[in-house]
Structure 1
Amino acid sequence: MTTQRHRGLTEQAAETAVDQACRLLRLPTVRAQFTDIAEAASREQMTYRGFLAELLMAECDDRNRRRSEHRIKAAAFPRDKSLRAFDFDANPNIDPAAVHTLARCDWVNKGQPLCLIGDSGTGKSHLLIALGTEAAIAGYRVRYTLATKLVNELVEAADEKSLNKTIARYGRVDLLCIDELGYMELDRRGAELLFQVLTEREEKASVAIASNESFGGWTKTFTDPRLCAAIVDRLTFGGTILETGTDSYRLAHTRNRTEHQA
């Protein structure tokens, strides 16, 4: 089969042909930018290959941008928060280098957990959303939820005999961001369902949580000491703890575990 070549086209006919071909091949960026890139190529005396590369790279860049926007939208963040907008000077307890290392998303790729622990107003939620956004931009599937909202959804799903389906839906994302853990007490059933989500997620899936309570204070959220210790272990083993407050939350966790083991 030979390809028919259209020789001797006028400029107007060529532009019409390009427009039609872009519609057929679903190349909206090439269609929108073809004229400008063609004029720039003429001015800069680009080769045909250089001109074609510019067109294709523009299409690829725009597709990546649209895919990132789609993943960010699918994450259901309550508001836009970025690392660029975070005021590190307002909280000297937070190490900018550590945060920007987390923004590379190696921990998401490895399926490791992240805990943002500190007092109210210290930037936990901002960082949680910002790092989740960075993960979405990097190509990972992300989902944001409040701890109480997640538990209520799980309890409702269990009542409606659709718990496995709900857990599977959360298990398909690469990073699950849970905000405001520790703001209210969870009954045993709710705590057990949350633990089930945390433990039954795929091996390479990450969890990031933000909590205003030290690990030692999680007994107010999870009243069963053994279940509390199991949840803390799941959210800290092999992961990163980023303290945004002034208290030593890590030591509080150590004391808490020692007391339960005793």
Structure 2
Amino acid sequence: MSPRRRMSEQAAEAAVDQACRVLRLPTIRGQFPELATKATNDQMSYRVFLAELLLAECDDRARRRSERRIKAAQFPREKSLREFDFNANPNIDPAVIHTLATSEWVKKGLPLCLIGDSSTGKSHLLISLGTEAAMAGYRVKYTLAAKLVNELVEAADDLVLSKTIARYGGSSC
């Protein structure tokens, strides 16, 4: 790396801003001034300061990826397990639901089907578990059974059933 001439603080900030734009590092770009001041005040080493910036960028990218996966799932509304009232339906075991929220069943490729009477919390739980899976890095798709059946029938009629099944993550026929 060739040595560069010494630049002013203002020029350095402008260079960091421009480099972050070119390299597409929006979090570093946004947090750099504040973290640089904090680093100076706390007498952070260059390595610690750089690590703080890079970790902030990584964390923010992971958050945005999760948000994109949740949006792509097309849930009809936001629901979380924290909001679920386990007391309203004593037949639902909170320990089982919290185990499902780890998404191990998704990792293992196991199916999940919730069956019950109307207004027992099935949709709430499915949306919550789907959100947890999306946050864990899995692609999720929310669809109603009737809509899925119609889509599969239409795909079969159009001779694209294998492609449609593959889009939902299944193996091709």
- Normalised by the size of structure 2, how large is the TM-score? 0.94
- Output the amino acid matched with 2:105: W
Instruction: Report deviation, 1:19.
Output: 0.6
Alignment of 1:159-174 (within 5 A): 159-171=157-169
The corresponding residue for 2:27 is 29
Identity of aligned residues (%): 73
CA distance, structure 2, for counterparts of residue 44 and residue 80 of structure 1? 40
Q: 1:38 aligns with which of 36, 39, 53?
A: 36
CA distance, structure 2, for counterparts of residue 93 and residue 148 of structure 1? 26
RMSD: 1.2
Q: Confirm whether residue 87 of structure 1 aligns to residue 85 of structure 2.
A: yes
The corresponding residue for 1:210 is none
Deviations 1:56-87 (A, max 9, x none): 00000010011111111111111111111112
Which shows bigger deviation, 76-85 or 87-96? 87-96
CA distance, structure 2, for counterparts of residue 23 and residue 48 of structure 1? 22
The corresponding residue for 2:7 is 9
Structure 1 residues not aligned, in runs of 5+ = 172-200, 203-262
Instruction: Report deviation, 1:146.
Output: 0.3
- Output the amino acid matched with 1:68: S
Instruction: Report deviation, 1:115.
Output: 2.2
- Normalised by the size of structure 1, how large is the TM-score? 0.63
- Output the amino acid matched with 2:114: L
Instruction: Report deviation, 1:90.
Output: 2.0
Which of the pair has more CA radius of gyration?
1
Q: 1:135 aligns with which of 133, 136, 140?
A: 133
**Matched position secondary structure for 2:76:** coil
Q: Confirm whether residue 152 of structure 1 aligns to residue 145 of structure 2.
A: no
The corresponding residue for 1:98 is 96
Instruction: Report deviation, 1:114.
Output: 1.7
The corresponding residue for 1:120 is 118
Instruction: Report deviation, 1:147.
Output: 0.4
Instruction: Report deviation, 1:7.
Output: 3.7
Count of residue correspondences: 171
The corresponding residue for 2:107 is 109
- Output the amino acid matched with 2:35: I
Structure 2 residues not aligned, in runs of 5+ = none
